[in-house]
Structure 1
Amino acid sequence: MNEFSFSNRMHTLLDNNQQVKHIEKGRFLFQESTLASDLYYILKGKVEVSKVVPDGRELTMRICSENDLVGETVLFSQNPKYMMNAKMLEDGTVAVISKESLEGKIASDSHLAVDMMTWLSALNRKNHAKFRDMFLHGKKGAFYSTLIRLSNSYGTVVEGGKVINLPFTNQELANFCGTSREVINRLLAHLRKNNIVSIKKGHITILDVDYLKQEIDCENCPIEICTID
């Protein structure tokens, strides 16, 4: 996926009349089942996209960052409603883009249309890979693949491993996997006992990523597919 081409073209659309909002941490850009008329292009900050399943559990689908578009599922839909929740994980800035306006620009600009389809295709491949790991390997597979994706998105190589630079609570990790905090507690305890990961001040360092990959029969997807965003 040519992310530069997509983000560069999106920035071109953001003229001086574009509505820009500063949103505080913890506030929602939109919530599930509400009527949808806008999309949001992230200029600064991180946004969690999640869905609440019928039994009340929260499933975190992805974390979006600068130059990412949120709310894309409403495009070219009649009387759409948002299918997910989008919440700010930190103070940030977003550009509000009218659904109707963006649809018109996509229809009239073939280059934008191709870039949009390329971006959506890559996003679809990421989602398929996540659900593959979850369904084929259960809770363990979902968690191990989440650790790999987090390290690819937010990891820094250190002596002996790769540290994930964003701190997560066990409940937040559980939300990525659609499971409970207790399950994550047990899985993390197993990984720490066997020196697969270490944890310090909420930051996880992956010491043996090959073990995690072997446990989920990793297909060695391209790095741009194996991310959490």
Structure 2
Amino acid sequence: MDNTYKLLKNIETLKNVKDEIIREMATKCIVREYKSEETIFLEGDLVEIIYLISKGKAMVSRFSEEGGEKIIHIFDKGHFINEVSIDGRKTSTSVTIMEDSQLIHFKKKDILSWMEKDFNFNLAIIKSISNKLRSSYRQIRNLGLKKINSRIAARLCKLVRDYGYKGEGLISIELNLTQSQLAAMVGSTRESVSRFLKHLEREGIIEQKNQKISILNFEGLKEYT
């Protein structure tokens, strides 16, 4: 219990939650390890567990009627994955682990109980849902108004903000991301993404190595958005 309590106390999302709630959470949650590419749940499942990432990354996606995948979100430490499931409806997304990760499991009824007991916990859930909604709005806007190359550049800029690590003369996106996955984020094909990334490489704006992208000229990248 002590280790789980410390784990929860170190999660930024819960920083304002009452200590008594954190202690109760520690006694009622389950902490589980997951392997890369492991599926947590599928679109259409009825999920009674709310997941919080304590280590690693998870990918949220939807599939079209034709079977094409659209990656909606990538979440890392401190993010709830499916807090919208508190409404009791079937899930509208699928979730897959991107790298070896650790998730904390909470029963939905416990989440609802803590929301009643502590306004700050309630606010943490509301903020989490709000951030997902805002992100979805931005994606809808970009898909509707921007051309393919602009959408790819905008997504790379977003990945830099979320996962960028500054090194000597570059910003490394600390995320193992295939071109197919990037295409699924922007509603394009892998071929279109590959062509544009090669163009950015020739322009000296990015560098690709081992499924990782480094930004050499961030201002140059932003000009394409």
- 1:68 matched to 2:68: no
The one-character-per-residue Cα deviations of 1:173-196 (angstroms, maximum 9, x if unpaired) are 112112211111111122112222
TM-score, length basis structure 2: 0.84
Q: For 2:200 and 2:125, how far apart are their aligned partners in 1?
A: 39
Q: For 1:39 and 1:143, how far apart are their aligned partners in 2?
A: 31
Contact 2:53-2:78 at 8 Å conserved across structures: yes
- 1:42 matched to 2:49: no
Cα distance change of structure 1 residues 147 and 72 upon mapping to structure 2, 3 Å threshold: same
2:219 aligns with one of 210, 213, 225? 210
3-state secondary structure, aligned to 1:49:
strand
Cα distance change of structure 1 residues 5 and 155 upon mapping to structure 2, 3 Å threshold: closer
Contact 2:12-2:78 at 8 Å conserved across structures: no
Deviation at 1:73, TM superposition (A): 1.9
Residue matched to 2:193: 184
Residue matched to 2:6: none
Deviation at 1:146, TM superposition (A): 1.3
Contact 2:206-2:213 at 8 Å conserved across structures: yes
TM-score, length basis structure 1: 0.83
Deviation at 1:4, TM superposition (A): 6.4
Contact 1:130-1:145 at 8 Å conserved across structures: no
- 1:7 matched to 2:7: no
Deviation at 1:199, TM superposition (A): 1.6
Cα distance change of structure 1 residues 212 and 132 upon mapping to structure 2, 3 Å threshold: farther
Contact 2:42-2:95 at 8 Å conserved across structures: yes
- 1:54 matched to 2:65: yes
2:210 aligns with one of 201, 213, 226? 201
1:106 aligns with one of 106, 109, 115? 115
Deviation at 1:14, TM superposition (A): 2.4
1:30 aligns with one of 41, 44, 49? 41
Structure with higher RCO (Cα < 8 A, 6+ apart): 1
Q: For 1:5 and 1:155, how far apart are their aligned partners in 2?
A: 19
Opposite residue 144 of structure 1, the aligned amino acid is A
Deviates more, 1:83-92 or 1:157-166: 157-166
The equivalences for 1:86-165 within 5 A come to 86-165=95-174
Unaligned residue ranges in structure 1 (runs of 5+): 217-229
Identity %: 23
Contact 2:29-2:107 at 8 Å conserved across structures: no
Deviation at 1:56, TM superposition (A): 1.3
Q: For 1:133 and 1:108, how far apart are their aligned partners in 2?
A: 39
Deviation at 1:116, TM superposition (A): 2.1
3-state secondary structure, aligned to 1:56:
coil
Contact 1:5-1:115 at 8 Å conserved across structures: no
Opposite residue 154 of structure 1, the aligned amino acid is Y
Contact 1:27-1:88 at 8 Å conserved across structures: yes
What do you get for the CA RMSD once the two structures are aligned? 2.2
The one-character-per-residue Cα deviations of 1:118-151 (angstroms, maximum 9, x if unpaired) are 2322232222223322221132222111111111
Q: For 1:105 and 1:20, how far apart are their aligned partners in 2?
A: 18
Residue matched to 2:27: 16
